[in-house]
Amino acid sequence: MTYILALDQGTSSTRSIIFDKLGRIVSLAQKEITQIYLQPGWVEHDPMEIWQTQLDTARTAIAKAGLAASDIKAIGITNQRETTVVWNRKTGQPIYNAIVWQDRRAEPTCAELREQGLERPILDKTGLRIDAYFSGTKLKWILDHVPQARAQAAKGELAFGTVDSWLIWQLTSGSQHKTDVSNASRTMLFNVHTNQWDAELLQALNIETPLMPEILPSAAEYGTLHPDLLGHPIPICGVAGDQQSALFGQACFSEGMAKNTYGTGCFMLMHTGAKFQVSQNGLVTTSAAQISQQTEFALEGSVFVGGAVVQWMRDGLGAFQKSSEIEALAQSVPDAGGVMLVPAFTGLGAPYWKPEARGTITGLTRGSTMAHIARAALESIAYQSASLLLAMSRDAVAAGAAPLTELRVDGGACVNDLLMQFQADLLGIPVLRPTMVETTALGAAYLAGLTCGVYANQEELSALWQMERRFVPQLAKNEALALMQAWEHAVRQTCAD
């Protein structure tokens, strides 16, 4: 039997999953990671904790499967994307905590870039809007605020990377400093047309070229795991940012196919093939996972707070002890009773792009209960995702393509039947949940498998995709429209000065 180890480093936890050739889970190990909130709008992780939890879960997953490291054919890596790490090349130690993708501290730098008239050049080259979400301005903040960082960078002593690069460096004991096109495309420093770092954008942010990792296709050889770590050298053969990896794991290889991942945030991607399309509806264009030097793209919409709203209700409001309890609480009432919760805890992402927005709860009455708020919290995930898909459909039609006819879903929150049914109701199209919902890790395994010869081609991978449940819309279109209008009204209240 052939086995592939997928390292899945996410925002709230680190996981290692072993898959067999048929894409089935053999074993899984997971550890939560510490969220560091130094002040409002700032979110950090300890890079050494990221690395240690990844190594620990890999060892645990192999042991749980009753395997030896020599039984693993290849390693694939998928990761939280825009989270930024800078480390010393000699010591391998980070010079600052990892600045997480949710962090907003770089907004002043973004304002400066806009004032310099760089919004259109950045959009044309990278497909991205200027926003503190992306890695480039986070990297600039570290270089500007950590003592001696700029001097060290000028001497070539420092390395920058998103989490994939950080893990590759550690896994290979510092011999490889690499990233893939999908992660590079989230930095605001990468030209998606040439698949190279853009000299003008690096200069605009005063970033030294020696800081940057080498860029490879997502399916490629990234180096070899140092044998001391797991007891045997294993090739690293696939890397992709978590959302592009999920698109790949969902077998969305063709133009017009779309998926939504329900994790800490929600991320909807629609494959656009080799076509670079600038969104007219508040989305961004990103590099899809690539198996060759041929460029492939996707339209993407990012919801900053998806499943994290459930964590907030659990930890901030104390509404329940386990996140899984929210479904029963929400189902204890027939609807949200007019309550709308807009979880703009770190601003609003696509299609609104309102970094200054903050969370609100509207429509409260004396009859409102925690159950109504819980239902509104769940529904907020579906409302935000529906806004993304509607924007995507408008872009698709404008480009001469057909509107989306179905949505494939994955991620932790997609197991919530109430949420998935409400999502289908709002969208008016079927929502398809696959048998394997761990598609983010599966995508990394598939990429690694293609590189090392476990799989012959993408057609073989498409044949492995299986549907577990199809959620069909049950709400009349006019009712769904009325709900979306109420949601947009709540968003306008949230964004009001």
Q: Are 297 and 272 in contact (CB under 8 A)?
A: yes
Give Cβ neighbours of residue 278 (< 8 Å, ≥ 6 apart). Answer: 123, 124, 127, 285
Give the pLDDT confidence score for residue 403 in this predicted structure: 75
Answer whether 106's CB lies under 8 Å from 140's CB.
Answer: yes
Span of 11-25, 92-106, 321-335, 396-410 with lowest mean pLDDT: 396-410
pLDDT score of 220: 97
Please enumerate in sequence order all residues whose Cβ is within 8 A of that of 422, keeping only pairs 6 or more positions apart, or say none.
378, 379, 382
Cα separation, 331 vs 475, in Å, equals: 17
State the pLDDT at residue 497: 64
Task: With cut-offs at 50, 70 and 90, classify the pLDDT of residue 405.
Answer: confident
Q: What is the mean pLDDT of residues 115-137?
A: 94
pLDDT of the residue at 282: 83
Q: Could you tell me which residues come within 8 angstroms of residue 119 by beta carbon, excluding any fewer than 6 positions away? A: 113, 129, 130
CA 238, 239, 240, 245 torsion: positive or negative?
A: positive
List Cα–Cα distances, 148 to 44, 88, 97, 164, in angstroms.
21, 12, 16, 25
Q: For position 180, what pLDDT does the model report?
A: 98
The pLDDT > 70 percentage for the chain reads 100
Strand partners, 3: 20, 72
Alpha carbons 18 and 442: distance in angstroms, whole number: 9
Calpha distance 378→331 (Å, rounded): 11
CA distance 233 to 69: 8
Which residue type sits at 61? Answer: A
Strand order in the sheet with 284-287: 284-287, 297-303, 266-273, 258-262, 407-410, 431-434, 467-471
Q: Is residue 213 pLDDT above 70, yes or no?
A: yes
Strand boundaries in 290-375, DSSP class E: 297-303, 340-342, 360-362
Q: What is the pLDDT of residue 86?
A: 98
Whether residue 210 has pLDDT greater than 90:
yes
**Mean pLDDT score, 168-190:** 97
The SS3 assignment for 371 reads helix
Predicted pLDDT at 350 = 79
Average pLDDT, stretch 470-496?
92
- Confidence at residue 150, expressed as pLDDT on a 0 to 100 scale: 95
pLDDT per residue as tens digits for the range 433-447: 999 988 999 999 999
Query: Which tokens hold the place of 93?
Result: 């130690």
Least trusted range by pLDDT, from 121-130, 135-144, 196-205, 402-411 = 402-411
pLDDT value of residue 183: 98
What is the SS3 assignment for 95?
A: coil
- CA separation for the pair 67, 25 (Å, rounded): 14
pLDDT higher than threshold 70 for residue 47: yes
pLDDT digits (tens, 9 = 90+) for 311-354: 899 998 898 888 888 989 999 999 999 999 999 988 888 788 88
Largest Cα separation within the chain, whole Å, is 64
Burial class of residue 322 (count of CB atoms within 10 Å of its CB; 0-12, 13-18, 19+) = exposed
In this structure, the dihedral spanned by the alpha carbons of residues 138, 142, 144 and 145, taken in order and rounded to 10 degrees, is 130
Mean pLDDT for 233-245 is 97
Whether residue 221 is predicted with pLDDT greater than 80 in this model: the reply is yes
Is residue 149 classed as helix, strand or coil in its secondary structure?
A: helix
Return the pLDDT at 37: 93
What pLDDT score was predicted for residue 227? 96
- Residue 188 is predicted with a pLDDT of 96
Residue-wise pLDDT tens digits, 18-36: 999 999 999 999 999 999 9
Can you count the helices (H) and strands (E) in the chain?
Answer: 17, 23
> With 80 as the cut, is the pLDDT of residue 402 above it?
no
**The pLDDT of residue 302 is above 80:** yes
% pLDDT > 90, the chain: 78
Computed over every residue of the chain, the mean pLDDT equals 93
Local confidence band at 383 (pLDDT 50, 70, 90 cut-offs): very high
**Which of 201-205, 243-247, 351-355 bottoms out in mean pLDDT, i.e. has the lowest?**
351-355
- pTM reported for the whole predicted model: 0.88
Three-state secondary structure readout of 229-289: HHCCCCEEEEEEEHHHHHHHHCCCCCCCCEEEEECCCEEEEEEEECCCCCCCCCCEEEECC
In this structure, of 113-122, 139-148, 249-258, the range with the lowest mean pLDDT score is 249-258
Q: What angle do CA 184, 225, 54 make, to 5 degrees?
A: 70
Question: 35-65 b/e with 16+ CB inside 10 Å = b?
Answer: beeeeebbbbbebbbbbebbbebbbbbbeeb
In the numeric block, the tokens 């390693």 are attached to: 75
For residue 279, what pLDDT is reported? 85
Buried b (16+ CB within 10 A) or exposed e, 68-94: ebebbbbbbbbbbbbbbbbbeeeeeeb
CATH architecture of 3-243: 2-Layer Sandwich (3.30)
- pLDDT of 222 reads 98
122, β-bridge pairs: none
